[in-house]
């Protein structure tokens, strides 16, 4: 059984770090990786060799012989064409928006997992890569904001006078938002937050932040804790009610997402006109369309002195730790479907985790959320 991983083109992370090479080896799985796989996170090939991996500079050769391919981002159509029939790929596949890729996976009989589809259950927690990455992204959002803000976050009393704490407003308090709140609080900022799921009020307060109450009428949670999309009217109500919190903030972090759908546009240009010049908005939802009007991936947009920043890879600045936790998530998933006695993979479609996270298997779409009419 050969597990392979290749370099990411457009992401600093690596899907495997040396610690997990050792762990795969102890399961009885051989590991071969592309040369310089982790150069962007300063892990050398020697460290992988020491852990038991083989290094190969021929990516095509690696793809042709892989039984299991680990990646951070989705494999390309060209890469899929090189894989063996029945090979297994595990990555952030983005299956709701990748019809052509899914067609290719079906045609080639690939077993393709999508890390976005790991269920949010207690038993699957250690495989939950959305959470592990969102956690680090939430931290990174505040660090990025602080770097671009022209003020400090904490209150500071000095002989030259007292500086008041910066105000941070966090919109969306899921995994990334809660970590952003916690990080801003650790740095001494005054934090306010809003989410459409009323259940998070307590979590926000327990981090020492204020919860902005907005009466939107009924806002239910989907199964699994995901937010339900707001109606047009509710979104307008939300926008109106947030204007004051936005204009009085030095930093606004937006993390609002709807599972499997485009992110809601919740800050329009007219809502930021009263913010103080020098303030910063970090749009953390850019890969699913963005929460802020006018934000552009990896560009700093200046609107009347307000900077809007939308990192496409929000874990880039913390890519080493992000790789470590992602690699751990992938290991836990592979270990879950690996038959240790017979040293081979065993795909049991009755298993809740596999049924939910496998996009294609033996030429069929498996994950119930991808079945026709459910998206
Ligand atoms: P997400 O990335 O899908 O969305 C981020 C946040 O945006 C959510 O909190 C959502 O409610 C919020 N949001 C959506 N529309 C909004 C709007 N118009 N305005 C403001 N906020 C808006 O969320 P996530 O971080 O992936 O978490 C989703 C759910 O999964 C949560 O309930 C979380 O507690 C749950 N979860 C459970 C487990 C587990 O049980 N193992 C693990 C991780 C997350």
Residues 99 and 198 in one domain: no
Q: In the chain, where does DSSP find H-type helix? A: 18-27, 45-51, 59-65, 77-82, 99-107, 129-148, 175-186, 201-206, 232-247, 319-337, 352-357
Residues 307 and 330 in one domain: no
In this structure, the residue with its CA closest to atom 13 of ligand 1 is 256
What is the Å distance from ligand 1's center to 53 Cα?
Answer: 37
Among 290, 314, 338, where does a domain finish? 314
Contact indicator for 322, 334 with CB cutoff of 8 Å: no
Neighbours of 348 (CB within 10 A): 11
Question: What atom in ligand 1 is closest to the CA of residue 197?
Answer: 11
pLDDT in tens, 8-58: 999 999 999 999 999 999 999 999 999 999 999 999 999 999 999 999 999
User: Does residue 258's CB lie within 6 angstroms of at least one atom of ligand 1?
Assistant: yes
User: Does residue 197's CB lie within 6 angstroms of at least one atom of ligand 1?
Assistant: yes
Q: Which residues pair with 34 in a beta bridge?
A: 56
Residue 97 resides in a domain: yes
User: Does residue 32's CB lie within 6 angstroms of at least one atom of ligand 1?
Assistant: no
Residues 287 and 329 in one domain: no
User: Does residue 259's CB lie within 6 angstroms of at least one atom of ligand 1?
Assistant: yes
Q: In 230-274, where does DSSP find H-type helix? A: 232-247
Residues 250 and 339 in one domain: no
Please tell me whether the overall predicted TM-score, pTM, comes out greater than 0.75 for this model: yes
What is the Å distance from ligand 1's center to 173 Cα?
Answer: 7
User: Does residue 120's CB lie within 6 angstroms of at least one atom of ligand 1?
Assistant: yes
Residue 123 resides in a domain: no
Backbone angles phi, psi at 241, to 5 degrees: -70, -15
Contact indicator for 183, 139 with CB cutoff of 8 Å: yes
Among 297, 314, 331, where does a domain finish? 314
What is the Å distance from ligand 1's center to 133 Cα?
Answer: 13
Backbone angles phi, psi at 281, to 5 degrees: -120, 130
Residues 170 and 286 in one domain: yes
Question: What atom in ligand 1 is closest to the CA of residue 124?
Answer: 41
Residues 340 and 272 in one domain: no
Residue 374 resides in a domain: no
- Calculate the alpha carbon distances from 244 to 151, 248, 302 in Å: 20, 6, 21
Q: Strands 251-254 and 280-283: what pairing? A: parallel
- Calculate the alpha carbon distances from 180 to 35, 163, 171 in Å: 35, 22, 10
* 25: containing domain: 2-117+319-365
State the pLDDT at residue 375. Answer: 45
Q: For a pocket test of ligand 1, which of 121, 199, 213, 225 has the largest count of ligand atoms closer than 8 A to its C-beta?
A: 225
What CATH number does the domain containing 90 carry?
3.40.50.720
Contact indicator for 196, 215 with CB cutoff of 8 Å: no
User: Does residue 338's CB lie within 6 angstroms of at least one atom of ligand 1?
Assistant: no
* 8-state DSSP, 294: T
Tokens 């809660």 belong to residue? 178
> Looking at the 3D structure of the chain, how many domains does it have?
2
What is the Å distance from ligand 1's center to 228 Cα?
Answer: 10
Residue 122 resides in a domain: no
Q: For a pocket test of ligand 1, which of 172, 199, 201, 214 has the largest count of ligand atoms closer than 8 A to its C-beta?
A: 172
What is the Å distance from ligand 1's center to 59 Cα?
Answer: 37
Residue 370 resides in a domain: no
Q: For a pocket test of ligand 1, which of 227, 231, 253, 290 has the largest count of ligand atoms closer than 8 A to its C-beta?
A: 227
Residues 158 and 239 in one domain: yes
What residue ranges of the chain have pLDDT lower than 50? 373-375
Residues 265 and 159 in one domain: yes
Q: Strands 68-73 and 2-5: what pairing? A: parallel
User: Does residue 257's CB lie within 6 angstroms of at least one atom of ligand 1?
Assistant: yes
- Judged on CB neighbours under 10 Å (0-12, 13-18, 19+), 7 is middle
Q: How many residues can be counted in the chain?
A: 375
Residues 6+ apart with CB under 8 A from 133: 315, 322, 325, 326
Residues 298 and 324 in one domain: no
* 8-state DSSP, 9: S
Residues 110 and 150 in one domain: no
User: Does residue 207's CB lie within 6 angstroms of at least one atom of ligand 1?
Assistant: no
User: Does residue 345's CB lie within 6 angstroms of at least one atom of ligand 1?
Assistant: no
Residues 347 and 310 in one domain: no
- Judged on CB neighbours under 10 Å (0-12, 13-18, 19+), 185 is middle
Distance, CA of 134 to CA of 11 (rounded, Å): 15
Residue 150 resides in a domain: yes
Residues 278 and 333 in one domain: no
What is the Å distance from ligand 1's center to 119 Cα?
Answer: 13
Give the active site residues.
120, 125, 128, 131, 226
In this structure, the residue with its CA closest to atom 15 of ligand 1 is 256
Residue 375 resides in a domain: no
Q: Strands 167-171 and 161-163: what pairing? A: unpaired
- Calculate the alpha carbon distances from 107 to 78, 348, 366 in Å: 13, 21, 14
Of 313, 294, 314, the residue nearest 303 (C-alpha)? 294
In this structure, the residue with its CA closest to atom 23 of ligand 1 is 174
Residue 27 resides in a domain: yes
Among 314, 339, 355, where does a domain finish? 314
């Amino acid at each position: 059984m050969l597990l392979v991983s290749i370099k990411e083109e457009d992401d600093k992370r690596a899907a495997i770090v040396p610690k997990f090479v050792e762990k795969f080896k102890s399961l009885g799985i051989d590991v071969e990786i592309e040369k310089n796989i982790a150069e962007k996170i300063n892990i050398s090939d020697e460290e992988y060799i020491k852990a038991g991996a083989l290094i190969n500079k021929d990516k095509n050769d690696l793809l042709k012989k892989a039984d299991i391919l680990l990646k951070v981002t989705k494999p390309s159509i060209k890469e899929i064409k090189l894989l063996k029939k029945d090979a297994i790929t595990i990555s952030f596949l983005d299956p709701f928006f990748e019809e052509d890729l899914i067609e290719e996976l079906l045609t080639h009989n690939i077993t393709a997992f999508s890390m976005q589809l790991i269920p949010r259950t207690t038993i699957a927690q250690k495989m939950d890569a959305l959470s592990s990455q969102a956690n680090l992204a939430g931290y990174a959002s505040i660090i990025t904001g602080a770097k671009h803000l022209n003020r400090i976050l904490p209150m500071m009393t000095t002989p030259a006078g007292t500086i008041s704490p910066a105000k941070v407003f966090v919109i969306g308090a899921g995994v990334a938002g809660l970590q952003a709140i916690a990080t801003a609080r650790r740095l001494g900022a005054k934090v306010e937050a809003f989410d459409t799921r009323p259940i998070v009020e307590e979590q926000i307060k327990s981090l020492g932040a204020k919860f902005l109450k907005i009466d939107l009428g009924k806002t239910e949670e989907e199964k699994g804790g995901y937010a339900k999309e707001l109606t047009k009217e509710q979104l307008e109500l939300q926008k109106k009610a947030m204007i004051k919190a936005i204009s009085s903030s030095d930093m606004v972090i937006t993390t609002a997402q709807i599972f499997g759908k485009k992110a809601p546009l919740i800050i329009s240009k007219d809502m930021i006109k009263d913010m103080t010049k020098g303030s910063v908005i970090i749009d953390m939802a850019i890969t699913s369309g963005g929460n802020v009007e006018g934000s552009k991936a990896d560009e700093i947009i200046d609107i009347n002195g307000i900077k809007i920043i939308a990192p496409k890879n929000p874990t880039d600045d913390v890519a080493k730790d992000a790789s470590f936790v992602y690699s751990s998530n992938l290991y836990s998933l592979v270990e879950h479907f690996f038959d240790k006695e017979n040293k081979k993979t065993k795909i049991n479609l009755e298993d809740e985790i596999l049924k939910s996270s496998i996009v294609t298997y033996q030429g069929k779409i498996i994950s119930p959320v991808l079945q026709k009419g459910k998206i």
